[in-house]
Structure 1
Amino acid sequence: MATKIRLQRFGKKGKPFFHVVVADSRAPRDGKFIERLGSYNPNTNPATIELNFDKTLDWVNKGAQPTDTCRAILSYKGILYKKHLEGGVKKGALTQEQAEAKFAEWLSAKESRIEGKKENLVKSKEEVKKAALAAEAKKNADRAAALAIKNAPVEEVVEEAPVEDAVGAEETPAAETTEGNEENA
């Protein structure tokens, strides 16, 4: 019987949630399965993956073939790397202690990358929140200033022209009209 490690879909429309299962390759996607290995929730950031490491490694060693998505999940959790190291131990390229040390080093590096991503997500959320608060404060200040201008008493300011300019402007047309009248007469 050909077995596959694959995802079994649960959850509502638009919010998928998956169980990682071992199933006969001929069984329907959400149908009969042999054993449940864990769960995968892609709705969170980073995605939540819970797997029984030993059971999954045992099934991979027995020859269960993971689907493409499950292969990525198993690789992410280190199951395929552990299988690779065990193959090296069987061939004599590594000792068991060396394989365990390499795997522990890989796990610590992986966990630090995941923690770094979580910290960056938290920082970016805080920065977005601060920017939104600053924009809201600016908008409120602008709104308050506009309201203050609207409610302020209106004062009419009439600018008077200098007296000299007004007199000079009036005399010039009058002088021209008198000269024009003398010539016509």
Structure 2
Amino acid sequence: MPVKIRLQRHGKKGKPYYWIVAADARAKRDGKYLEKLGSYNPNTNPATIDLNIDGAVQWLQNGAQPTDTAKNILSYKGALLKKHLLGGVAKGALTEEQAEKKFQAWLEEKEAKIQSKAEGLSKAEAKAKAERIAAEKAVNEARLAAAEPEVEEAEETEEATEAAAETEAPAAEETATEETAEVEAKEEAPAKEEAPEAEAKEEAPAEEEAAEKPKAAKEEE
């Protein structure tokens, strides 16, 4: 029975993750499988891979053929390297201890590279975040700078209005004073006109008395 090591899709739309399985080559991609060897999650950066290296090596030694993607994952996790080292042990080129020592050295080097990549990604993300914050700050400062002239214009307009009001106030007071003077002048004018009439009335009886005195003298004669 031909066996393939391949990926079986799981997860939801837009965010899939995969199981690494050994399955019959004639079975459907997401159908029954013979053994689950690990999982692969491409949604993280770097991708998260969990693999049973010894189980994968055993299937490879038994003739299982990995798909292209599965082969890349097996190489990334060192399963192909371990199979190669065990082949050297079988041929007598290496002892099991030497093979294991080389494999562990490779794993440590690989882990250091992965860690370095993760740190680089974290720094890049932090830098991008700082740049976004700086850009937002610059935009906010530009908005404030654009708003300041409007505030100054509003203040100047208020000052001009207050100055105009102060200028109009004395003029209004002068106008009111002039109107008051005119009213008082109008009130005094009738009083002056009445005074001659009263004097005329007082002088009239005196003239009548003077005219009557000669008449009385003539009668006595």
TM-score (norm 1): 0.80
Q: For 1:62-101, what aligned pairs fall within 5 Å after superposition?
A: 62-101=62-101
Shift of 1:154: 4.0
Residue 111 of structure 2: aligned partner: 111
Q: Tell me how far apart the structure 2 counterparts of residues 111 and 70 of structure 1 sit (CA, whole Å).
A: 20
* 1:72-94 CA distance string (max 9 Å, x none): 00000001100000111111111
1:13 deviation in Å? 2.1
**What's the secondary structure of 1:49's corresponding residue?**
strand
Alpha-carbon shift at residue 24 of structure 1 (Å): 0.6
Question: Greater helix percent: which structure?
Answer: 2
The aligned counterpart of 2:130 is 130
Match for residue 168 of structure 1? Answer: none
Residues 116-144 of structure 1: per-residue CA shift (max 9 Å, x gap) = 11001000010011111111111111111
- Residue of structure 1 equivalent to 2:172: none
- For residue 40 of structure 1, what is the aligned residue in structure 2? 40
What is the SS of the residue equivalent to 1:32?
A: coil
Shift of 1:53: 2.0
Q: How does 1:8-27 map onto structure 2 within 5 Å?
A: 8-27=8-27
Structure label with greater radius of gyration: 2
Comparing 61-70 with 77-86, greater Cα deviation is found at 61-70
What residue in structure 1 maps to residue 146 of structure 2?
146
3-state DSSP of counterpart to 1:94: coil
- Residue by residue over 1:85-126, the C-alpha shift from the partner in whole angstroms, topping out at 9 and shown as x without a partner, is 011111111122221111111111100110011001000010
Shift of 1:4: 0.7
Q: Which residue of 1 aligns with 2:56?
A: 56
Please give the secondary structure, in 1, of the residue aligned with 2:37: strand
Pairwise CA RMSD of aligned residues?
1.2
TM-score in terms of structure 2 length: 0.67
Give ranges in structure 1 of 5+ residues lacking alignment: 156-185
In 2: Cα distance, 1:13 partner to 1:97 partner: 46
- Count of matched residue positions in the alignment of Structure 1 and Structure 2: 155
Identical-residue share of aligned pairs (%): 57
CA distance in 2, matches of 1:108, 1:23: 31
Distance, in Å, in 2 between the alignment partners of 1:55 and 1:89 is 18
Counterpart amino acid of 2:58? D
